[in-house]
Structure formats: C-alpha cells, structure tokens
Amino acid sequence: MNESYVKASHPVASTDSHDHSSEVTHPRVSVVIPAYNRQDHIREAIDSVLAQDFDGSIEIIVVDDGSTDCTAEIARSYRDQVTVLSTCFNQGPAAARNIGIRASHADIIALLDSDDIMLPNRIATQISYLESNPEVGVVFAGSVNAQSHYADAFHSECDAPSYPRKWTKLNYPREMLFRAYLGNQSTTSIRKKALLQVGLYNTSFRILEDWELMVRLAGVTRMSYYNGALAQIRTQHHNRSNSDLAHGAQLGVAVTEHVLHSTTFLSHQERDMMVERHRQSLRWHLFRSYLAWGGPSLRPLIAQYDHYLPARAKYKWLVVSYLPVSVIRCVLWLRRKRYF
C-alpha cells in the first residue's frame, strides 16, 4: 500500500526560552498518534502527552489519516508542540503508524490511539525501565476505562493490583503471545530499532495488525509488562450489523492464517497454540457469517477450512447450516435470559 503523506508542520520544539535544539533533534521518546475523524477526542489525547510527569523531551507526531473533519486543524493548533502529518486518503491505522514511526527522531516509540489518554506517569515509567534494561525492546501495561475499571496487560478485567507496582519480564514471550494478546497499543512502547528490524506494521491488515506485529517482535526481542494502569482506554460502542461483524471475523481469520504460515521461529508447541487460535477465529467467523447470511453462506466456508476443523466440529456446523437462523436466534435469546 502506498503510504504517501504531506508534512504539515515542524518537528516538536521545547516551550522553554532556552536553546534546546539538540533535544528537539534527538528527543528521548516519540509519541505516535494515528487519527481518523477524531475531532472530539484528539485534543484530550495530545493534552495527556503534554501533561506527562517526565523531565526529558517528548516528540509528538499526529498522523491525520485522511480525516474529513477538523482533526488536523485541532492538532495544528498546538503549533511547534506537535508535528502533524497528513495522508491524502484514509489508509488505515497500520499505515498511519508506520508514517509516524518513520518520521520520528527518538530511539523509543510510545504508541497512543487518538481516542485514548495517557496517564501522567506512563512515559516516565516506561522510558526509565527501557533505559535500565537494554535487552528489553517492548513494554506494555494495564489500563482503565472511562468508568475506572481496571484491565490488566492481558485484557482481563480484574481488581487493580496492590502496591508496589512492579515490572515482570516475560521468560517465554512467544508463548505468552499465543495465550493472549499482549497489551493495548495505548500502553505500549517499542524500541524503534526493533520495529525497523521486523519491518513495521503490515499495512495489508486493517484489524489485528497490532497483534501480528507483536508476534514478529517476539521473535527478535524481550518483552516486559507493568502490573498497573498507564492509560485510559475509551471503548467505542457502535451498533455494528452482523454483516460488519462477519466481515471483521473473516479478516481476523486471514490475519491469523497469515501468521501461522509466515512465522518461521515457532516451536511445535507454539505452532499448535497458533492452530488452536486459528480455530477459535474460524468459529467466530462461521458463527457471524451464519447470522449475517444464513446457512447457504456457511457450507462453502466449512469446505474451505475443512483441514482446520475437527470432524466433530465440522459435522456440528453442517447441521447448524441447515437450521433456520430464527431458531438459533431464539436459542441465543433464551440463553441470555438464562432459561437454560
């Protein structure tokens, strides 16, 4: 995919009256914020970076990914505090992040989604750890949502950890990747060297592009996570149709299958984990396709993925494909009402 863009402002500059040209050229961290039609949230995201309890210089790069609202204008209003890069058309979050990473000047990239907020201690906590642990290339953490509910680094909602906060190095980072996705992008910081080594984000993916990147990073560097919240995540609630969900599930299957066939560093055990993850993606895809388009759409998919489906599962899905969708919807409704 062509990642053409136009540079729309200047690199970040210090607000101090002293000459910090060396800091501007070589900031300690670059924060990359991809944004598409985020005029309602982009200011909060930028302000959360400017409010960091961090002594070093921070470069803020906003990549306006073809927005049709006032996202770019709001970002440009920060003048020399923010670098704004604009694409000619929407290319997706992977391409937008790649543009920001390539334009960055720091050795460490802190990722932030345009509708999320950094907690004040995120940069200081992660940068000090990375600078003290040169063998670690990726760090991530837990988060809170708008209702202050805590989710750990593996996206499991739980009670917030007690003090002291601590770092944990993953002894088997690749295995952890297949157990659960590691971290939220808005809590993740990565060494630029490691990103360039694996080739940045795969721009052919519009979903799961972050997980696919983490799989490749696990093959070249160590990872650590922090057992506390370092970002506030704003979950978007949309009334998505079954067709949209089925299409998203189909893309998820494609990404998982790509990782399964392209990753060469996996052990036999890890590849088995990957196959199981692929089967889980397939189940979601089959179910959503059935709800969206009915049984006739399901049978070709069962044939297409026959070699990944155990015999029992294949026959179960074949039986389901001949049932009216209304019957399954009724069963789902009864389960939600806890009638059985």
Say yes or no: 280 and 176 in one domain: no
Say yes or no: 323 and 189 in one domain: no
Say yes or no: 18 and 86 in one domain: yes
pLDDT in tens, the chain (340 residues): 444 334 443 333 323 333 334 445 688 999 999 999 999 999 999 999 999 999 889 999 999 999 999 999 999 999 999 999 999 888 889 999 999 999 999 999 999 999 999 999 999 999 999 999 999 999 999 888 766 666 555 544 444 554 456 887 776 555 555 554 456 889 999 999 999 999 999 887 776 788 778 878 888 888 888 888 899 987 654 444 445 445 555 556 666 666 666 666 667 776 777 677 666 767 766 776 777 777 777 777 777 766 667 788 778 888 888 888 787 778 777 777 665 5
| Per-residue pLDDT, 281 | 67
Say yes or no: 194 and 264 in one domain: no
Range of the domain at 291: 242-336
CA atoms of 263 and 260, how far apart (whole Å): 6
Tokens of 89: 């058309």
Pick the last residue of a domain from 233, 266, 285: 233
CA atoms of 64 and 4, how far apart (whole Å): 12
Quick check: 11 and 42 in contact, CB under 8 A?
no
Query: Which residue type does 332 have?
Result: L
Say yes or no: 259 and 209 in one domain: no
Say yes or no: 218 and 250 in one domain: no
Say yes or no: 206 and 319 in one domain: no
| Per-residue pLDDT, 256 | 67
| Per-residue pLDDT, 9 | 39
Quick check: 34 and 63 in contact, CB under 8 A?
yes
DSSP 213-281: HHHHHHTTSEEEEEEEEEEEE--------HHHHHHHHHHHHHHHHHHHHH--S--HHHHHHHHHHHHHH
| Per-residue pLDDT, 23 | 45
Say yes or no: 148 and 40 in one domain: yes
Tokens of 132: 């003290």
Pairing status of strand 117-118 against strand 222-233 = antiparallel
pTM: 0.70
Say yes or no: 55 and 157 in one domain: yes
Give the count of domains, the chain. 2
